[in-house]
Amino acid sequence: MNGLTAVRSLTTLPVVTLGGDAVAHVKDTVFDPAAGRIASFTLTGRTLMSGPLPQDLPWPAVHCLGRHAVMVRDEGALCDLPLSVARRDALRGRLLGAQVLSDDGDPVGTVLDVLVEGGTSGRLVAFRLAAHRELVHRSRHRRHQVYVPRGEVLSVSGRTLVIPAHATTYVTDDLPAFVARAGAHHDRERGAVR
């Protein structure tokens, strides 16, 4: 698995061509929740004080997602898009602030951040949540912010995400422990498929 990147840290990252030219900055990350990955980025101009651009950056045009920049082959990777469409897509694909419920109806929390796999994947891996008090009490976490894996099923209805109930068994308030648990879960599932 490539390194995990928090989506909040992507905001204002420069979009840089392989030739070294900064062509834009990331404004928002748009998700395709059904596919469980980044769909695109809405953009602002080259300087941080610039306004929104009438272009977006679709995920297939991304060469690599790094910690310090989003790399594209050239400026042609940016797609012209009416600002109204970019704003609508950004709102539709926004996961931050969404309420999270398990598929058995229990409240899990509110999405504070989304962890994605860097590199060329863009795969949505986990959520950092402000945990619901029942989850905190049941799991005896020290903090009210926890990590929950995306799980194999993800449904979105308006501003609510539904995750599998079993995903809450992997909840932890420690990121390294979460990565280890999620990796073990992924390995078990891969072994069951073979």
Of the candidates 92, 108, 124, which is a domain's last residue? 92
Determine the Cα–Cα distance for residues 148 and 134; give it in Å rounded to an integer: 15
Residue 55 lies in domain: 7-92
Determine, yes or no, domain membership for 2.
no
Q: How confident is the model at residue 193 (pLDDT cuts 50, 70, 90)?
A: very low
Q: What CATH number is attached to the domain comprising 84?
A: 2.30.30.240
Determine the Cα–Cα distance for residues 194 and 186; give it in Å rounded to an integer: 13
> 73-88 burial, b for 16+ CB within 10 Å, e for fewer?
eeeebbeebeeeebee
* 59 & 120 share domain: no
Our CA angle for 88, 17, 123, nearest 5°, is: 55
Quick check: helix, strand or coil at residue 166?
A: helix
* 111 & 170 share domain: yes
> Which tens digits make up the pLDDT trace of 51-82?
888 888 999 999 999 989 999 999 999 988 76
Determine, yes or no, domain membership for 1.
no
